[in-house]
Chain A
């Protein structure tokens, strides 16, 4: 039964097993918060590959969080509970309930969480998670489900308790924690008979791993490799949270990030090479890494900013047409100059095409935007402009298009790397360092992925309209309004600057024509001095034409493009607000659900149906946990968005000041030239006699 149902599409895993896990992660989420939101980043498609390789269990691990987010988990729970596993659920929860407050905050739940984050391989640590691999090795799920689960769950909860004790004991030391877990595991099983099997299995699984590595499925080996790297941070984060000591949290977090940044990119890279089709593994692991990065940036934003700014210099140069006809594309040279130790060398250069830049954005936004990060958007695709470049040979408009795009891409990359947490992203480094990138497919405007994206945007827009958030936070309330207004004015300004550019170009063209006609007039003038003066005037006008042209391109590149960039960026800022609103909505939904559950419980009490009362209590506990989790998530995303917006405002102020000063300097230069030209002309005019 389990086997068959588990194969069904992820959004609604309705076997007992997922439920088991679900229960535990929901608790876990409350503490580690991040996990769920990260976990939903892998799309349903991406979760599938691992499922195939692992048989079922891993899928559940992946799909659970999805189902949580994908709504109405409570229904599933309802339907599932009656199944054989209901006892287990009770067991699992009844114990923690004694500790009441700990239901939500106890470390019990907290162990499974890291596991979830780190995928199957972590299983060995606690039996709940150990199960999946066990299944695989045992290859007899049915049995396992019918018999051992009870025992295993009993034991698991007790083990967890033990673990929690351990965790409380030595939360500073992550290594210990992990070394100790196995001990606990071995100790505990003894009292309860049946679980022994499970645990031996678990152990065997650990041993089996090497064998599994030999297994043709690359994914698994890769994951096995990643897992160790990721364990420490995950556990550290969870342990610190149980303590509720926030100051510690930072330290631990920063440590975590350091470790992660050292480990994950390598692993990721390996993984990508090995399993291109499935993004899930890297995405998940990266997700866990990014989940830690924010806390660091929140606290150390200031120093980070100043540090990063100056030792990373990126330029996009040498646009080159590759290929012919409609398959042609422009490749750009991306050169990086840095003293940051995270890069392998000080200077390196790669060639990237436009879709690679878009691909980078896709990856980054997938990972970071739902955490409330402002991911700088790349320049828009321009089918018309590019077709011109592809078809046309060498005409000025396509040259201008290419230059415009080159400059925009350069600014885009600079914005990405100037963001402290985006810089940490392995994809960014890969983009900058790696020789060959897998071709980004989903960026094509007319591809299926493009269509999906459009669809998603549409549904987002609809849901945005339906969500009515009553804003509690005055700061956000004002900021959202400000951003809205600002965007509107920027758009208006942009239109005007564009019109100035056009008029200036027109002026330049007309000046050129006028210069010619004055030259002609001069040539037909029969007074020599006047003729000379007129041809001088023609020359002056010619130079002024050049000046206007330069000024027009200055108008465009320093002013108009700045505005275009910021219109796009303000869009991204709005996206962050939307993410925050979504988190709020999730929280409110959970709150409502909890309310309902409580009412149901009251009804049951009144109806005097004690058999169902326990179940209702469990549900309430579950939803209370969820509410806390979502609330924290919301608070976290609010904090992140706030930091991000403050950072964005700073960047914006700096950018605008720098660019406008630059623009004014260009105007100043124009005027200086103008003065020179007319001063040279004046004696000529006076010489007319």
Chain B
């Protein structure tokens, strides 16, 4: 896949501001997607502005309900969330694992750092400044890439889903070339969401306590509960690990620049030696930083994705469990009604509806969970293989650098 990144940093009154970043097509491979020529979605471009990111969503489709075969629209993060929420709220999709919504782009930390760098410009040497600036730009770019990738994954997952791809809202999202004018949730709605979540999780505990009649679901339930917690743990730990790895890489970078200044003090033999070592460290730190970045991309992001995906799967199980409880309650109500011979018809209809709902959910959920597992295994395989290959590549590169440098140094002394 062709990737073109163009970063423009404009300096305004000695404060560095990130004006815009554009990002080429990028697809995160941590979800195994069926390749289907009938509907292909990607994010061809993205633009980072002060407080928002604009994604250009590019669609290629042969489906008859689209006016054109190929088109692009500009979407923002909020619109992605709207699409996700519309899926979640749709009763029709209760039996499916709703693809998790992409996380909110978070450039604040990175922006702040850049700002600080701009303020501290006077207090450091030119080399230090450019180095720091490069570091931060790289960091910013990495976050940006990740954000774009996460949003793309969401769309790809929806497009690949046999039912969700046909959703009207999705089609509107892809095709409507105006602002969808979705607004963020207001305070009242947020509060409602919060209570809903509290009720849901309390209910979830209740529902989870009910013994499932189906062994498959019973197993999936216990598995997902445990899996979710562990993937959460692993994700947090991998983040910390990668952060310290990045810190170490930064240290090497600083060591390299100090060695450089030490080496330029004089022109003695030792100074030349320092310069060579500095050069080496400069290169190795790049590799170290790449190692950290690749671990982040291949492992941490994978874990993070499956954290959200397993949450979605858990939600599915909750909906099914809820439906099961409803169904059982309806059965009881029907029994009662029959015994009293009162409202039997109404109870029967309710029971019928609940039964249908439960069966529908169970039927699709089973398939969804099996798919989830297949997808998960495939994604882990792909990413772990890639991770190992990248680690090997970097370690070998590092080794080569060290070997050649040692060769030169030993030749000198």
Asked if chains A and B come from one complex, the reply is yes
Q: Residues of A at under 8 Å CB distance from B?
A: 482, 485-486, 489-490, 492-493, 496-497, 499-500, 503-504, 506-507, 510-511, 513-514, 516-518, 520-521, 524-527, 529-530, 533-534, 537, 649, 652-653, 656-657, 660-661, 664-665, 667-668, 671-672, 674-675, 678-679, 681-682, 685-686, 688-689
List the B side residues contacting A686 at CB < 8 Å: 381, 385
Contact flag A520-B398 (CB < 8 Å), given A489-B261, A514-B237:
no
- The A-contacting residues of B in range 189-231, CB under 8 angstroms, are 219, 223, 226-227, 230-231
Would you call A530 and B284 a contact (CB within 8 A)? no
List the A side residues contacting B226 at CB < 8 Å: 524
* Distance in angstroms between the alpha carbons of A500 and B254 in the assembled complex: 10
Minimum CB distance partner of A526 in chain B: B223
Q: Identify 13 new A-B residue pairs, CB closer than 8 A, beyond the known A520-B234, A534-B380.
A: A493-B262, A507-B244, A516-B237, A517-B230, A518-B234, A526-B373, A653-B268, A660-B273, A660-B277, A661-B413, A664-B402, A668-B402, A682-B388
Any A CB within 8 A of the CB of B245 = yes
Instruction: Jot down 27 A-B pairs with beta carbons below 8 A, ordered by A.
Output: A482-B266, A489-B262, A503-B247, A507-B244, A507-B247, A510-B240, A510-B243, A513-B237, A513-B240, A513-B241, A514-B237, A516-B237, A521-B227, A521-B233, A524-B227, A652-B270, A656-B270, A657-B270, A657-B409, A657-B413, A671-B396, A671-B399, A674-B395, A678-B391, A682-B388, A685-B384, A685-B385
Contact flag A653-B270 (CB < 8 Å), given A520-B234, A533-B380, A664-B280:
yes
Would you call A688 and B384 a contact (CB within 8 A)? yes
Cβ contact of A510, chosen from B227, B244, B274, cutoff 8 A: B244
* Distance in angstroms between the alpha carbons of A497 and B254 in the assembled complex: 9
Cβ contact of A537, chosen from B230, B262, B384, cutoff 8 A: B384
Would you call B384 and A653 a contact (CB within 8 A)? no
* Distance in angstroms between the alpha carbons of A665 and B255 in the assembled complex: 17
Cβ contact of A486, chosen from B227, B234, B265, B406, cutoff 8 A: B265
Minimum CB distance partner of A507 in chain B: B244
* Distance in angstroms between the alpha carbons of A664 and B403 in the assembled complex: 9
List the A side residues contacting B389 at CB < 8 Å: 682
Minimum CB distance partner of B255 in chain A: A496
Would you call A688 and B377 a contact (CB within 8 A)? yes
Would you call A520 and B388 a contact (CB within 8 A)? no
Interface of A: prevailing SS = helix
* Distance in angstroms between the alpha carbons of A507 and B405 in the assembled complex: 26
Any A CB within 8 A of the CB of B258 = yes
List the B side residues contacting A679 at CB < 8 Å: 392
Would you call B268 and A649 a contact (CB within 8 A)? yes
Cβ contact of A496, chosen from B237, B258, B399, B405, cutoff 8 A: B258
List the A side residues contacting B399 at CB < 8 Å: 668, 671-672, 675
List the B side residues contacting A533 at CB < 8 Å: 380-381, 384
List the A side residues contacting B245 at CB < 8 Å: 507
Would you call A678 and B392 a contact (CB within 8 A)? yes
Any A CB within 8 A of the CB of B248 = yes
- In order of increasing CB-CB distance, the 9 nearest A-B pairs are A500-B251, A688-B381, A685-B384, A507-B244, A510-B241, A514-B237, A653-B270, A517-B234, A671-B399
Minimum CB distance partner of B237 in chain A: A514
* Distance in angstroms between the alpha carbons of A72 and B205 in the assembled complex: 93
Any A CB within 8 A of the CB of B238 = yes
The smallest C-beta distance from A669 to any residue of chain B, in angstroms, reads: 9
List the A side residues contacting B233 at CB < 8 Å: 517, 520-521
Would you call A682 and B385 a contact (CB within 8 A)? yes
Cβ contact of B255, chosen from A500, A506, A649, cutoff 8 A: A500
* Distance in angstroms between the alpha carbons of A222 and B396 in the assembled complex: 69
Would you call A500 and B230 a contact (CB within 8 A)? no
Any A CB within 8 A of the CB of B188 = no
Would you call A503 and B248 a contact (CB within 8 A)? yes
Minimum CB distance partner of B253 in chain A: A496
Would you call A525 and B385 a contact (CB within 8 A)? no
Would you call A661 and B381 a contact (CB within 8 A)? no
Cβ contact of B258, chosen from A493, A529, A661, A671, cutoff 8 A: A493
The smallest C-beta distance from B395 to any residue of chain A, in angstroms, reads: 4
Any A CB within 8 A of the CB of B259 = yes
